[in-house]
Amino acid sequence: MVPSWTDFAGRVAVVTGGGSGIGLELIRLLLEAGARVATLDVDPTGAPPGAFTQSVDISDPAAVAAAFTAVHDDLGKVDTLFANAGIGSTADVLACTPEEWDRVFAVNARGVFLSIKAVLPGMLERGSGVIVNTASVAGMIGLRDRAAYCASKGAVIALTRQVAVQYAGQGIRCSCICPGTVDSPWVGRLMDEAPDPAKRREELIARQPVGRLGTPLEVAQAALYLASDAGAFITGSGLVIDGGITAA
């Protein structure tokens, strides 16, 4: 359900990774709030009808630039970017190969950088724009067996702050969301891969003081708030939506 303070009528929004999970819920909310929405995703087939879709690997500079040009040609200049696409990695430093490290950074950190790079010129020209990156509590605290993932999300938080400070005087806001464990298809896959999926689910739930996982909708609503006019005084922030993990 769209909160009453949201109105994105006439705005153009891009959600990366909108084919599944948090990004998919974001697209639903944005469409309901009146935005014209595009998604860039390696597999956009799951994106809701009504969204303009581009099949692209967010870590590929040429492909990302071409996809944003196509969005611009089809929908107009981007008012709001949700740099949300990301991948996981379940390895500590010893188990993580340099190749895995590079791949995680290419998608999670370079993908955010490339997306911001593509929308900034239009935002600067108009003197307005909002960027909301999807980081994670993994960028704030250490999680076991998540070396590259934690480091890549820390990079997203740091880039968020830098972009916020750099362009605050030019009408551009940049913040990030830091979700805890969210019951998205990704986390479903993680559980399925565990030797005992039910036990793994219980372990993940036990990590969260509220005693349950978050939902993609709860995270999407928080991202929408940051991007909305109600969030006009917020920039450089990391909004934590984690059921209390980081408070414990």
Stretch that binds ligand NAD, among 73-81, 166-174, 180-188, 229-237 (CB under 6 A): 180-188
Stretch that binds ligand NAD, among 6-14, 163-171, 175-183, 229-237 (CB under 6 A): 175-183
Stretch that binds ligand NAD, among 5-13, 90-98, 114-122, 185-193 (CB under 6 A): 185-193
Residue 191's closest CA among 42, 90, 43? 90
Q: C-alpha 145: how far from its chain's center?
A: 21
For 48, which DSSP code? Answer: P
The count of residues interacting with ligand NAD (CB under 6 A) is 27
218 binds ligand NAD (CB under 6 A): no
41 binds ligand NAD (CB under 6 A): yes
Contact 168, 113 (CB under 8 A): no
244 binds ligand NAD (CB under 6 A): no
Strand partners, 40: 16, 54
Strand partners, 82: 15, 132
Instruction: Starting at the earlier edge strand, list the strands of the sheet with 172-179.
Output: 52-55, 36-41, 12-16, 80-83, 129-134, 172-179, 238-241
Whether 149 sits among the annotated catalytic residues: the reply is: yes
Residue of 53, 89, 134, 221 interacting with ligand NAD (CB under 6 A): 134
Listed in sequence order, the residues at least 6 apart from 201 whose beta carbon sits closer than 8 Å to its beta carbon are 191
Binding site for ligand NAD (CB under 6 A): 17, 19-23, 41-43, 57-59, 84-87, 107, 134, 136, 179, 181-182, 184-187, 216
Catalytic residue set = 149
